[in-house]
Structure formats: C-alpha cells, structure tokens
Amino acid sequence: MDKRLLDVRNLSVDFHTSHGTVHAVRDVSWHLERGETLAILGESGSGKSVSASAILNLIDMPPGEITSGEILFEGEDLLQMSGERRRKLNGHRIAMIFQDPLSHLNPVYSIGFQIAETMTAHGISKSETRARTIELLERVGIPEAATKVDAYPHQFSGGQRQRIMIAMALALKPDILIADEPTTALDVTVQAQILALLEELQEETGMGLLLITHDLGVVAEIADRVVVMNSGQIVETGTAHEVYHNPQHPYTQNLIAAVPGDGDLAEQVDASVQPILEISDLAKHYGGFVALEGASLTVLPGESVAIVGESGSGKSTLAKTLLRLEEATSGQALFEGKDLLSMSAKEMFDIRRDIQMVFQDPTQSLNPRMSIYDIISEAFVIHPNILPKKQWKARVCELLEQVGLKAEHIHRYPHQFSGGQRQRIAIARALALEPKLIICDEAVSALDVSIQAQVLALLTDLQAQLGLSYLFIAHDLPLVRDFAHRVIVMKRGKIVEQGPVEQIFEAPREDYTRNLIAASLSPDPAEQARRRRALRDMERHPA
Amino acid sequence: MLSFLGKRAVASGISLVGLILLVFFLSRLTGDPTGLYLPLDASEESRNQFREIHGLNDPLIVQFFHYMGDLIRLDFGESIRRAEPAIDVVLRGFSWTLQLAAITMTLVVAMAIVVGSLAAYYIGGIFDRIATFFSLIGASAPDFWVAIVAIVVFSVTLGWVPTSGTGTVWHWILPISVLFIRPFGLIVQVVRGSMITALGSAYVKTARAKGVKMRPIVFVHALRNALLPVITVIGDQAAALLNGAVVIETIFGFPGVGKLMIDSILQRDFTVVLAAIMVTAMAIFLMNILIDVLYSILDPRIRY
C-alpha cells in the first residue's frame, strides 16, 4: 500500500448564494499520511473547513458545488463514488468531530445510543454495541461509564461532551479522524487534556489526524505538518516548525506576528489616586449554589483590570451583579464612592452612563434591523440631556472615526460589516455616553487573531486618549498578558490570586494560576514542547 | 411530576368554576325556557307549575347554589328537553365526538408528519412544492363551504356516500374527510418548518458524518427534535375537535357534543349546556396533561 491515505488534488468549491457566487476553496491540494497529524490553519472565511466537509460529503449541493478536483482515499476518488458507498465510508473509515459538541450531539437521545449508532449504522448488531460503547467511554475518560452511558448530552460538561464525540468518532477505529476546531469552545486546561487524548489515540490506532484550526498554539502542540489557508487558497505548507520560524508568505508572517503573548507588559498606573471602582466582599448565591463569594477588587482610573478564569469561575456573574443585571446576595461595590448595589433605580439610571458594556458576540448584541446611526444614537435617546438632537449625527460620525470606521457607513446595517468591524461598532456605542468604565465581557474572543490584535490596540488607544478604565473579562491568558495592567484570577466563584500583570505571569503564587498559564498554548512548537514537559512535571509532582 | 399534576389540577379546577359561573348566568340571559316547552295557549297556572318543577322560580343566586350543591354530589341535573339526566345525554354525544376526533386526528398526525418531513427533506423539490401548495389550500379552506360542496359532489351528484346521519361506515367518510383538511394543512406546514430547522442542525451533520442512513436521519434524529412545536399545534387542533366540530356536526347531522350544545342553547336546556361544557373542559384538561407528559418523554431536558 504505497498509495497515500488521503490525497486532495486541485479541489475547488463554489457556493452559490443570493449575493452571488463565493469561491470558497480555489485549487487546493494537500495530502495526509497514516499516523500523521496535518493541521489546516486559517481564519474565519478562509475555507479551511470546506475541504474537510467535502471529504465527508457534508456540503449541501446546492448551494455548494465542487467545480473541479479529486479527493483520493487510498487511491480512489471519493467524488466519483455513489452516495451509498460514501455513506459506508463515513464513520467507518473516515470520522469527524466538531467545534461545539453540545449542538453537535442530539439533545434528545442518550449518549450511549448515539455512540452505538456509529456501529449499528455500519451493520453491527445492537446486542454487541453496549459493552463496546461502555468500553469506549472508559477509554476516553468518562467516569462511571457503565451508568453514564444512559445519560443525555446536557448532563455532561463541555470537555466531557467532546470526549463523547471522540468516542463516537473512534467507535469503528477509522483510518482518518477529521477534527474541526475540536477545542475552541473549551477552557485551556480542558483543551490540553483533549489534545493529549487525541494524540494518545492516534498513537494507539495509527490513524491520520486532520486538524482544522485557527489557533497557532494548537498547531504547535499537536501538528506534524501545517497547511495555511487564506481566502480559499493555500498560501503556505510545511512542518509546524518551519512555518512558525520561517514563514514565507506575508499572510503567515502577519498571522504569527499577531499572536498575543509576547508583547511588552503594561506599566502600572499611579496607585495613589482614588479608585474608580471598589468592590468588597461581593457574593452571589443561586439557592444553595455559590456562584460568587468574597470577591474584593479595585479599579483605578485609566487602568485595565483583567478577570481570568475557566468557565464557571464566576467572572461573568461578577460583571452581571455589578451592573445589577443580577441582584447581589451581599457585598458592596463603590463606584466613585457611591454603592452601586444599594442605589435606587433613579440613581442607577444616571450612573449607567458612566459604566458601559461590550459583549462577546457583536452579531447578537447589535440589533440587525437598526442602522449603525440608530444603534449608536439610541444612547442619546435614552439619556436625552447629553446632546441636542442637531448634533447627534456629527457625534456619531466622530465616534465611528474614533473606532476606525468610515463616517459614510452611518446608514449601513450590522450584517454589512465583518466581525471585527461589528465589535468596533459595539465599542462606539459604548463610547457614545462618554463612560468612565467599560466592562468587556470576552469582547474579543469571538474574533480572529489578527482582528483581536487590532481591537485591543483600539481599546488601548482609547484608554490613552480618554482615560478610560476597563474591566476585561477573558479566558485567553496571552491576550490578557499583552493588554492588562493588573490581573485577577478566579476559580469556582472565588478570587484565588490578584496582582500586577508581571507578577501573575512571571511569578504566580497559586498552583491554579500556574496550571492555567502552563496549559495555554504557545505558537512556537519548541516553546510548546517545553511547556508540555513543565505541565507533565507539575502533574507528577504537585507543589 | 406528581406535584406538577396536582398544581395543574387545582388551576384547572379554578378555571372550571369560573367557566360554570359565566355560563350559568349568561345562559339565563337568553330567557325563560317555559315559553319554548309549553303550548302557546298554556295557562299561567301550568306555566308556574313547569317553573316550579324545574326550579326556575327561585332567585337566580339560589338556583346557582342549588346547582353547585348538586354538582358536588356529581348530580348534573335533568335535561328539560329529554327528561333524563343531563350527563347521560352529554356523554352519549361526547362519545360520538370523541370517536370522530380520535380517528381524524390519528389520520392527520400520521399523514402530516410523513408529508411534512419529506417535504422538508426534499426542500425546493417537486414533492415539497406539491405538499406546500395543497397544505396551504387545506389550512385556509373554510370548512363549512368544503362540507357543503362535498355533500353536493359526493352525495347528491355521485351518490357515493350518504349526505348525513350515522349508521354505517359510509356515514363517517365525509365528516372525517372534511374535518381532516384544515388540521392536516396546518400541521404539514408546522412539521415542514420545524423539520427544516432540525435537518439543518449540527447534530444532523454529526449523524451524516457517522454514516447514518437517510431514513433514520430524518425520522430518528431530526423528527424527535422537530416534534416539540408540532405537538403544541396538534394539541390545539385536537382541542378544537373535542369541543365538537359544531359546524361540521350540524351540517352532517352528526349527533356529537357540538351539535348537542347548539341544540341545547337554542332549546334553553341549561343543564345540558353546562354539563357539555364541563365534560369538554375536562377532556381538554386531560389532553393538555397528556401533551405535557409527551413533551417530557420526547425531550429529556424537560422535567417537571
């Protein structure tokens, strides 16, 4: 068998949409060998997932159309096979896992049923599947597999769900596993576990692993070779090491340069002034569940304070109780000396001007039926004393230019902008009321790396111009390292450590913080190998 | 689950009492039944005697408390018209309606789910277009008109089926067919819409990547998720049928509870009207419970 396991040759895929034809993939060629991990790296819209979907016949035609090329699986062109033959390969010889395991698992069937289905769909009788399913669950590290086999997807954590997806995909020991952003929705520590599991399973079975990702860190951690894609074309191919250290194409060079985590650390702001926000002993309980307990922190004028932690650590709860979107159970939050938590609705209304929020997903937080002018000027409608109506338009134009957008786009709608531009609009909306404090809840985590860098640069510029303070909620540590003055680390509703950014990243005191930092991925394969060794040491000899 | 059922029962009980209050007093507003039952030249004395027998001489509020007192002992009163217990009259009519509704809805649900699902799977194709066209017509056709045209065509002109009444299997064909049309059209539309969403979902993509065959993808993976909104509409339509398809039963002379209710209102047979309302309300309450139970069976995330 000297034939390549998988060989994609000159593949082009078009999508015919109401806005015209999109050439999603143009003349793309790559191949995958047994036992190899190939990463396809690209940002959103680069077409990185499309060739994988084509392999599994998952492209809906129409609107999709494969205009040229072939996909050879062990020398035979998949695109020439009948639908029934391709169905028989899917799940049996070629399997796939996806980004968001919650929506990719059927909510109304037990996980046992869904794993067994991979086997029954390929002719294994039902009676044989149960024992094998439990075995698979044990193999991917689901505790109490024998009872959990009858549970439903919503009863598992995000990391466990991805393990279940992996068990489902590997049920028949496929020759190829395609993993489409398998760890993007997961916490860093869970990401490290899932990637380690994939690597182990690959060694066990000798399968070829095709990894689709936007994250250079994931590439550094696991990939042997990498294919870099940009707007439907391959711009660069090489080993992970070559591509990181010696990128040839300007796109790759920019992408690597945009990766956060090695910029200059911010200088601390003058701590002798009165803090703008002083939170003490803030707590929020839901019934018996403690979402937040004993949280105390301060934010100085002109300071960026980052709150980091894994999902469920209480960082969003903190922001919500601060804005009174949820009522705090106890504690105090002084904003310029006045307690936000005991304020009357009237006082709170006035103070909302000074505290604004930027959310994670600008697609959802901007009303799709309002023009940019309406979205931004709505702030003046709600707070009528700020600006006479005659000046609204001039002010909106000014704000748009301030966030790097063109004033003539004022009558466009959110869908006419890209993700990064939409987040700029959301920032302009927050700035409209000339706030003193902006709470950014994962404000850049939905954006591509290069766009992230731009938006963060914008936030830093605005801070220098306007003296803004930021409360920056994030899970991405390298990003926080480049942006924040001070960092607060949260775990299970409690603050475990806080301090200047330098101290947190260079001399963390808590194991939890050290673990978080060690688990975050470096884009440099050599550095990543070093971190992995450090992490293993830490697991073996906990301090 | 049990405490949920308890709460629902209490809530339904309260609305039932409100309903009785409303209907009891409103129906009295239609006038005195005495004039309808006694000959025009009946003496004032015999009229008074009639009122005395049926308790119509007491003040309204006293009549109401008498009625409620009897009701607690499950005595629904006598039908003035038929001189037998009102509840017997109603249950006889209701059993006809129940059969009609059950047969119709079974056919509707089975066919609408298959047609709607396939239309969604072959979206934009010829089957989808035909299904959408006819279901839209069905959902918007006025049933009294369809009923009359059907009688003219199939009974009068072609003579295939009887025009009205009951007795043979043939008597059932027209009422069922006419009652079928609107819920079928509506539910096909809902199933189709709901299935399009479900078939475009991420878990269906997973199933395709696993190599699951087309039929289980549509009828196992997508359908069970798509059924939740569909069940709500099915319940709504079934409730309408249980209430008695008043117009259809009247046109086809079908002795169901809908026709009974109209007749009793016209005849000022108050006890029958009240009993009919209580029986149908009870049936609808039970059906809503059934739907809630179905929800939690279909979707393990729903727990009461």
**SS3 assignment for A397-463:** HHHHHHCCCCHHHHHCCHHHCCHHHHHHHHHHHHHCCCCCEEEEECCCCCCCHHHHHHHHHHHHHHH
Q: How far apart are CA A398 and CA A407, in angstroms?
A: 7
CB atoms A92 and B298 under 8 Å:
no
User: Of A108, A106, A163, nearest to B203 (Cα)?
Assistant: A106
Q: Mark which of B27, B42, B72 sits at the end of a domain.
A: B72
Residue window 168-207, chain A: list those with CB within 8 Å of chain B.
168-169
Using the Cβ of A109 and the Cβ atoms of chain B, whether some distance falls under 8 Å is answered with yes
CA closest to B216 among chain A residues: A121
The one-letter amino acid code at B209 reads A
CB atoms A87 and B206 under 8 Å:
no
To test the contact with chain A by mutation, choose from B204, B206, B213 the residue with the greatest count of A C-beta atoms within 10 A, namely: B206
CB atoms B225 and A168 under 8 Å:
no
One domain for residues B67 and B33: yes
Q: What are the residues whose beta carbons fall under 8 Å from the beta carbon of A442, sequence distance 6 or more?
A: A359, A360, A473, A474, A475
Residue window 425-444, chain A: list those with CB within 8 Å of chain B.
none
- pLDDT attached to residue A388: 87
Judge contact between B189 and A85, C-beta under 8 A.
no
Vertex A514: Cα angle to A510 and A520 (nearest 5): 150
- pLDDT attached to residue A2: 57
Whether B303 is covered by a domain: the verdict is no
Whether B79 is covered by a domain: the verdict is no
Whether B304 is covered by a domain: the verdict is no
- pLDDT attached to residue A542: 61
Q: How many Cα atoms within 13 Å fall on the side-chain side of residue A446?
A: 19
Q: What is the CATH number of the domain that holds B205?
A: 1.10.3720.10
Domains by residue range for chain A, with CATH: 34-59+82-258 (3.40.50.300), 261-354+441-508 (3.40.50.300), 364-434 (no CATH)
Q: Mark which of B72, B100, B133 sits at the end of a domain.
A: B72
CB atoms A117 and B210 under 8 Å:
yes
The one-letter amino acid code at A153 reads P
One domain for residues B145 and B175: yes
Paired strand residues for B242: none
Q: What are the residues whose beta carbons fall under 8 Å from the beta carbon of A394, sequence distance 6 or more?
A: none
**Strand-pair category, A355-358 with A176-180:** unpaired
Q: Is residue A228 helix, strand or coil? A: strand
Q: How far apart are CA A280 and CA A480, in angstroms?
A: 23
One domain for residues B33 and B125: no
CB atoms B224 and A88 under 8 Å:
no
What's the average model confidence in pLDDT over B111-131? 94
Judge contact between B251 and B162, C-beta under 8 A.
no
CB atoms B211 and A87 under 8 Å:
yes
Q: How confident is the model at residue B244 (pLDDT cuts 50, 70, 90)?
A: low
Residues of chain A in contact with residue B301, where contact means CB-CB under 8 angstroms, are 107-108, 152, 154
Using the Cβ of B246 and the Cβ atoms of chain A, whether some distance falls under 8 Å is answered with no
Q: What are the residues whose beta carbons fall under 8 Å from the beta carbon of A249, sequence distance 6 or more?
A: A228, A235, A236
Using the Cβ of B197 and the Cβ atoms of chain A, whether some distance falls under 8 Å is answered with no
Selected residue with higher pLDDT from A509 and B5: A509
Instruction: Quote the minimal CA–CA distance from A110 to chain B in Å.
Output: 9
Which among A106, A110, A121 has CB closest to B213? A121
Indicate if the alpha-carbon torsion angle A65, A68, A71, A76 is positive or negative.
positive
Q: What are the residues whose beta carbons fall under 8 Å from the beta carbon of A377, sequence distance 6 or more?
A: A392, A393, A395, A396, A432
CB atoms B298 and A152 under 8 Å:
no
Q: Mark which of B25, B46, B72 sits at the end of a domain.
A: B72
Residue B295: both structure tokens together: 């929800």
* pLDDT, block means (10 residues), chain A with 543 residues: 82 87 90 93 86 88 86 92 92 92 93 95 91 92 91 90 93 93 84 89 92 90 92 92 91 88 80 89 90 92 92 87 89 90 88 88 86 92 86 91 87 86 90 91 83 87 91 90 93 92 91 87 85 77 61
Give the start-end residues of each E strand in A139-207. 176-180
**CA distance to A14, A25, B88, per residue, from A20 (Å):** 10, 15, 69
Residue A224: both structure tokens together: 């042997």
Instruction: Quote the minimal CA–CA distance from A90 to chain B in Å.
Output: 5
Other Cβ atoms closer than 10 A to B17: 12
Whether B242 is covered by a domain: the verdict is yes
Residue window 19-78, chain A: list those with CB within 8 Å of chain B.
56-58
Whether B81 is covered by a domain: the verdict is no
One domain for residues B134 and B267: yes
Which structural domain, as residue segments, surrounds residue B8?
A: 2-72
One domain for residues B98 and B191: yes
One domain for residues B162 and B261: yes
Whether B241 is covered by a domain: the verdict is yes
One domain for residues B21 and B125: no
One domain for residues B55 and B112: no
The one-letter amino acid code at A353 reads R
Using the Cβ of B213 and the Cβ atoms of chain A, whether some distance falls under 8 Å is answered with yes
Residues of chain B in contact with residue A98, where contact means CB-CB under 8 angstroms, are 202, 205-206
Residue window 121-140, chain A: list those with CB within 8 Å of chain B.
121-122
For chain A, helix (H) and strand (E) counts, in that order, are: 22, 20
Looking at A22-31, B63-72, B211-220, B224-233, which range is the least confident one?
B63-72
Q: How far apart are CA A151 and CA A168, in angstroms?
A: 15
Give the total number of structural domains in chain B.
Answer: 2
Instruction: Quote the minimal CA–CA distance from A255 to chain B in Å.
Output: 29
- pLDDT attached to residue B91: 92
Residue B16's Cβ-count burial label (10 Å; 0-12, 13-18, 19+) is: middle
- pLDDT attached to residue A306: 94
Give me the residue label for tokens 């005195």. Answer: B32
Q: What are the residues whose beta carbons fall under 8 Å from the beta carbon of A103, sequence distance 6 or more?
A: B201, B202, B203
Whether B140 is covered by a domain: the verdict is yes
Q: How far apart are CA A207 and CA A195, in angstroms?
A: 15
Whether B259 is covered by a domain: the verdict is yes
One domain for residues B150 and B266: yes
One domain for residues B52 and B197: no
Residues of chain B in contact with residue A91, where contact means CB-CB under 8 angstroms, are 209-212
One domain for residues B91 and B161: yes
Q: How far apart are CA A380 and CA A393, in angstroms?
A: 11
Alpha helix (H) residue ranges in B200-303: 202-210, 214-216, 223-242, 246-251, 257-266, 270-298
Using the Cβ of B205 and the Cβ atoms of chain A, whether some distance falls under 8 Å is answered with yes
Residues of chain A in contact with residue B208, where contact means CB-CB under 8 angstroms, are 56-58, 90
Vertex A460: Cα angle to A454 and A462 (nearest 5): 105
**CA distance to A447, A449, B23, B222, B241, per residue, from B227 (Å):** 35, 40, 36, 9, 20
Containing A239, the helix (H) or strand (E) segment is: strand A233-239
Containing B52, the helix (H) or strand (E) segment is: helix B44-53
One domain for residues B95 and B55: no
| ipTM greater than cut 0.85 | no
CA closest to B296 among chain A residues: A108
Helices B86-121 and B223-242 cross at an angle (nearest 10°) of: 150
pLDDT digits (tens, 9 = 90+) for B165-189: 777 888 888 889 999 999 999 999 9
Instruction: Quote the minimal CA–CA distance from A115 to chain B in Å.
Output: 9
Vertex A396: Cα angle to A393 and A401 (nearest 5): 125
Using the Cβ of B167 and the Cβ atoms of chain A, whether some distance falls under 8 Å is answered with no
